[in-house]
Chains A and B, each alone.
Chain A
Amino acid sequence: MSAGSVWRRRMTSRLLSALAALATLAVITPLFLIFGFLLYQGAAALDLAFFTHLPKPVGEPGGGMANAIVGSLILLGLAAVLGLPVGILGGMYLAESEDRRLPGILRFLADVLNGVPSIVIGIFAYTVVVLPMRRFSALAGGFALAVIMIPIVLRATEEMVRLVPASLREAGLALGLPRWKVALRIVLPAARPGIVTGAMVAFARIAGETAPLLFTAFGNRFWHHGLDDPIAALPLQIFAYAVAPYDDWHRQAWAGALVLIVLVLLVSLAARMVTRGRYGVAR
């Protein structure tokens, strides 16, 4: 082993490490830039009023995005209620089924749905919910978001459930439990951390979706009166303010964007806390 080749190896290693560090930097930098920019631009407009007041009429300074913040949370909640059960149960079915043809078809359809542009899904929700109801509503918005959410949760669930070792299923069956109980009470809890991560990814995606909400939730300058009423949402509000000619509104749009990102971060953190509590299959 010559001294020359050792030196060469060491230099190569250092060079590659440096390149890897640069690449990492290249990836992280935009994230920090965005966040920093948002902070810089939006922090000024953030005050208590922002979180508690409704938008003021055109031209009047001040006001807030209380209804949009609450609206986004409600829409996320609705999407979760509609989309999570379908996604999780569907994913479980795909992972556990012994049928040879149907799961393959379903998987393909889910992948196709995943690729459908969100505005098309918005139009679909418009046709299916808004038209029969004859009104824009939070329900329609939640429905649209749920449809976007389902394929993401479904595939993530399927993958995590597949990772659960067969020995656990066997153990459950050998105890004299029916298959559905084994799936729900043994396999599902074991796959929980991964499923939660999948749900988080889905939330992060739909929290920022604007297009599908355009003709479903529609947006609202005031508080909504029920789930069958149009409802404000952060992305919609940000969009509306950003294209308007008022500086005050521009500042509020920045603030809204900042709040939106922080919201997504908080949801992620909360989910991580929930799963860190209990022992599960390694993620």
Chain B
Amino acid sequence: MGMIPGIEASSSALDVERTRLDVIAGNLANAQNTSDANGQVYRRKMVVFESKLNNALGADANMGSQVQVARIIDDPTPLPKVYLPGNPKSDAKGMVEMPNVNPLDEMVDMMTATRSYQANLQVISAGRSMFEQSLKIAE
């Protein structure tokens, strides 16, 4: 157990939510990108979380879990086709595949990530306040 109880879990969550925000920012930036590094249409990226047990030094018992990013995967939903006959990437019918990024979904995800980030900051703050209070025992 560290000096501040629960700090490993909360700080891992801060990392993870930060990664999610980065991915969302990437999605929004590439929302109209029909040609990425490989020449493919950009596919929306999603972050998958998983929990990892806290193995504190010298303790075998379960002490709660941290969270980490398992992988960043491509969103498998089909790419929408838009009618853009003048576009160099349009096919025979003039349809172009666009990235499957919906800005509204991304904004909702961003709010969720921000809220989680703030909640975890609050946990760390509560833990630190508990620690400071315990120092008063030996005033």
> Is chain B a partner of chain A in the same complex?
no
Which of A's residues lie within 8 Å of B, judged by CB? Answer: none
Which of B's residues lie within 8 Å of A, judged by CB? Answer: none
